[in-house]
Amino acid sequence: MDTLRKEELYTIDDIYALPDGERAELIDGKIYYMAPPNTRHQRLVSDLHYQIKDYIKRNNGEFEVFPSPFAVFLNEDDTNYVEPDISVICDRDKISEKGCNGAPDWVIEIVSPSSKPRDYMTKLFKYRMAGVREYWIVDPDKEMTTVYSFEKDAVEQYSFGNEVPVGIWERFFINIQ
Protein backbone atom coordinates (compact mmCIF):
# COMPACT_ATOMS: atom_id res chain seq x y z
CA MET A 1 0.00 0.00 0.00
CA ASP A 2 1.38 3.37 -1.01
CA THR A 3 1.36 6.09 1.55
CA LEU A 4 1.35 9.72 0.64
CA ARG A 5 4.11 11.73 2.19
CA LYS A 6 2.62 14.66 4.04
CA GLU A 7 4.38 17.90 3.22
CA GLU A 8 5.32 19.97 6.25
CA LEU A 9 3.42 23.24 6.54
CA TYR A 10 5.36 26.23 7.79
CA THR A 11 4.02 29.29 9.56
CA ILE A 12 4.96 32.94 9.94
CA ASP A 13 6.82 31.96 13.13
CA ASP A 14 9.18 29.92 10.93
CA ILE A 15 9.82 33.00 8.76
CA TYR A 16 10.69 35.08 11.84
CA ALA A 17 12.97 32.26 13.07
CA LEU A 18 15.17 32.39 9.94
CA PRO A 19 18.81 33.36 10.53
CA ASP A 20 19.59 37.08 10.23
CA GLY A 21 20.00 38.13 6.63
CA GLU A 22 18.06 35.19 5.20
CA ARG A 23 14.86 36.22 3.44
CA ALA A 24 11.94 34.08 2.40
CA GLU A 25 8.25 34.28 1.65
CA LEU A 26 5.54 31.94 2.83
CA ILE A 27 2.71 30.97 0.52
CA ASP A 28 0.11 28.47 1.69
CA GLY A 29 2.55 27.10 4.26
CA LYS A 30 5.42 26.58 1.81
CA ILE A 31 8.66 28.53 2.24
CA TYR A 32 10.21 30.17 -0.82
CA TYR A 33 13.75 31.42 -0.18
CA MET A 34 14.72 34.64 -1.95
CA ALA A 35 18.06 35.31 -3.61
CA PRO A 36 19.62 38.73 -3.06
CA PRO A 37 18.45 41.19 -5.74
CA ASN A 38 20.86 42.39 -8.42
CA THR A 39 21.71 46.01 -9.21
CA ARG A 40 19.21 46.38 -12.08
CA HIS A 41 16.44 45.04 -9.85
CA GLN A 42 17.28 47.56 -7.13
CA ARG A 43 17.44 50.44 -9.61
CA LEU A 44 13.94 49.56 -10.84
CA VAL A 45 12.57 49.31 -7.29
CA SER A 46 14.17 52.62 -6.36
CA ASP A 47 12.87 54.42 -9.45
CA LEU A 48 9.33 53.03 -9.12
CA HIS A 49 9.21 53.84 -5.41
CA TYR A 50 10.39 57.40 -6.12
CA GLN A 51 7.81 58.00 -8.89
CA ILE A 52 4.93 56.67 -6.79
CA LYS A 53 6.01 58.50 -3.62
CA ASP A 54 6.40 61.74 -5.59
CA TYR A 55 2.90 61.36 -7.11
CA ILE A 56 1.35 60.74 -3.68
CA LYS A 57 3.16 63.75 -2.22
CA ARG A 58 2.23 66.10 -5.09
CA ASN A 59 -1.43 65.07 -4.82
CA ASN A 60 -1.65 65.19 -1.02
CA GLY A 61 -2.56 61.51 -1.04
CA GLU A 62 -3.42 59.60 2.08
CA PHE A 63 -1.77 56.52 0.62
CA GLU A 64 1.53 54.92 1.50
CA VAL A 65 4.11 53.16 -0.63
CA PHE A 66 6.69 50.75 0.75
CA PRO A 67 9.63 49.11 -1.00
CA SER A 68 10.79 45.62 -0.06
CA PRO A 69 11.55 44.33 2.46
CA PHE A 70 8.08 45.10 3.79
CA ALA A 71 5.91 42.37 5.32
CA VAL A 72 2.49 41.73 3.82
CA PHE A 73 0.18 39.34 5.65
CA LEU A 74 -2.26 38.57 2.83
CA ASN A 75 -4.80 36.53 4.71
CA GLU A 76 -5.94 36.26 8.28
CA ASP A 77 -3.88 33.12 8.80
CA ASP A 78 -0.33 32.24 9.70
CA THR A 79 0.61 30.46 6.47
CA ASN A 80 0.95 33.44 4.09
CA TYR A 81 3.65 36.11 4.27
CA VAL A 82 5.06 37.93 1.24
CA GLU A 83 7.44 40.82 0.61
CA PRO A 84 6.40 42.49 -2.67
CA ASP A 85 9.01 44.72 -4.28
CA ILE A 86 6.54 47.64 -4.05
CA SER A 87 3.36 47.76 -1.96
CA VAL A 88 0.86 50.63 -2.20
CA ILE A 89 -1.73 50.75 0.56
CA CYS A 90 -4.70 53.12 0.45
CA ASP A 91 -6.29 52.04 3.74
CA ARG A 92 -3.96 53.15 6.53
CA ASP A 93 -5.84 50.94 9.01
CA LYS A 94 -4.14 47.96 7.35
CA ILE A 95 -0.69 49.27 8.30
CA SER A 96 0.94 48.24 11.58
CA GLU A 97 4.48 48.24 12.90
CA LYS A 98 4.87 44.70 11.52
CA GLY A 99 3.68 45.53 7.99
CA CYS A 100 0.43 45.36 6.04
CA ASN A 101 -2.44 43.27 7.38
CA GLY A 102 -4.46 42.30 4.33
CA ALA A 103 -4.04 42.98 0.65
CA PRO A 104 -2.28 46.12 -0.57
CA ASP A 105 -4.23 47.98 -3.25
CA TRP A 106 -1.37 47.84 -5.74
CA VAL A 107 1.57 45.43 -5.83
CA ILE A 108 4.61 45.54 -8.12
CA GLU A 109 7.01 42.62 -8.47
CA ILE A 110 10.31 42.88 -10.35
CA VAL A 111 10.96 39.46 -11.89
CA SER A 112 14.26 37.74 -11.36
CA PRO A 113 15.20 34.37 -12.89
CA SER A 114 14.59 32.57 -9.59
CA SER A 115 11.23 34.25 -8.90
CA LYS A 116 9.67 34.00 -12.38
CA PRO A 117 7.29 31.06 -11.79
CA ARG A 118 6.27 32.41 -8.40
CA ASP A 119 5.61 35.95 -9.69
CA TYR A 120 3.77 34.92 -12.89
CA MET A 121 1.68 32.12 -11.40
CA THR A 122 1.62 31.58 -7.64
CA LYS A 123 1.57 35.23 -6.56
CA LEU A 124 -0.76 36.24 -9.39
CA PHE A 125 -3.37 33.86 -8.00
CA LYS A 126 -2.71 34.73 -4.33
CA TYR A 127 -2.85 38.49 -4.92
CA ARG A 128 -6.07 38.24 -6.91
CA MET A 129 -7.76 36.03 -4.31
CA ALA A 130 -6.58 38.24 -1.42
CA GLY A 131 -8.13 41.39 -2.91
CA VAL A 132 -5.18 43.25 -4.50
CA ARG A 133 -6.73 45.71 -6.97
CA GLU A 134 -3.79 46.00 -9.36
CA TYR A 135 -0.71 43.81 -9.87
CA TRP A 136 2.27 44.73 -12.04
CA ILE A 137 4.95 42.27 -13.11
CA VAL A 138 8.03 44.13 -14.32
CA ASP A 139 10.28 41.80 -16.34
CA PRO A 140 13.75 43.33 -16.95
CA ASP A 141 14.84 40.46 -19.24
CA LYS A 142 11.85 40.94 -21.56
CA GLU A 143 11.79 44.71 -20.94
CA MET A 144 8.05 44.33 -20.48
CA THR A 145 5.52 45.26 -17.80
CA THR A 146 2.37 43.17 -17.46
CA VAL A 147 -0.49 44.94 -15.69
CA TYR A 148 -3.30 42.93 -14.13
CA SER A 149 -6.27 45.13 -13.25
CA PHE A 150 -8.33 42.74 -11.17
CA GLU A 151 -11.19 45.22 -10.72
CA LYS A 152 -11.62 45.51 -14.50
CA ASP A 153 -10.66 41.88 -15.17
CA ALA A 154 -8.10 43.15 -17.69
CA VAL A 155 -4.49 42.34 -18.58
CA GLU A 156 -2.27 44.65 -20.61
CA GLN A 157 1.41 44.63 -21.54
CA TYR A 158 3.73 47.59 -22.03
CA SER A 159 7.28 47.71 -23.38
CA PHE A 160 9.90 49.55 -21.35
CA GLY A 161 10.07 53.19 -22.44
CA ASN A 162 6.29 53.49 -22.85
CA GLU A 163 4.01 55.15 -20.32
CA VAL A 164 2.07 52.69 -18.18
CA PRO A 165 -1.25 54.00 -16.81
CA VAL A 166 -1.88 53.36 -13.12
CA GLY A 167 -5.35 51.89 -12.92
CA ILE A 168 -6.09 52.72 -9.29
CA TRP A 169 -5.45 56.45 -9.89
CA GLU A 170 -6.48 58.65 -12.79
CA ARG A 171 -3.95 60.72 -14.72
CA PHE A 172 -0.90 58.94 -13.33
CA PHE A 173 1.50 57.23 -15.72
CA ILE A 174 4.83 55.60 -15.01
CA ASN A 175 7.62 55.26 -17.55
CA ILE A 176 9.78 52.22 -16.80
CA GLN A 177 13.25 52.26 -18.33
Comparison of pLDDT for 15 and 170, the residue scoring more: 15
The pTM of this model reads: 0.93
Q: Is 19 exposed, middle or buried (0-12, 13-18, 19+ CB in 10 A)?
A: exposed
Kindly report, residue by residue over 147-160, the tens digit of the pLDDT: 999 999 999 999 99
Look up residue 5 and give its DSSP letter. P
> Is-contact 162 177, C-beta < 8 A?
no
Give the three-class secondary structure for 93: helix
Question: Could you report the per-residue pLDDT of 45-92, keeping only the tens digit for each?
Answer: 999 999 999 999 999 888 999 999 999 999 888 999 999 999 999 999
Q: In terms of Cα–Cα distance, which of 149, 145, 118 is closest to 135? A: 149
